[in-house]
Amino acid sequence: MLFLLFWGFTEFGGPIHQRPVQDVAYTVARFIQRGGSFINYYMVWQPKYGHPKELHRAIKMCKMALVSADPIVTSLGSLQTGDCASFLSNYDTKSAAKVMFNNMQYNLPPWSISILPDCRFVVINTAKVYIKRG
What string of pLDDT tens digits covers the 134 residues of the chain? 444 545 444 556 666 566 778 888 888 898 888 888 777 776 567 656 777 888 889 999 888 777 776 666 666 666 655 556 889 999 999 999 999 988 999 999 999 999 999 888 999 999 998 655 55
Q: Where are the domains of the chain?
A: 3-125
Q: pTM here?
A: 0.73
Q: How is 7-62 classified by DSSP, letter by letter?
A: -----TTSPPP---HHHHHHHHHHHHHTT--EEEE-S--TTTTHHHHHHHHHHHHT
Report pLDDT for 130. Answer: 63
Cα 23 off chain centre by: 9
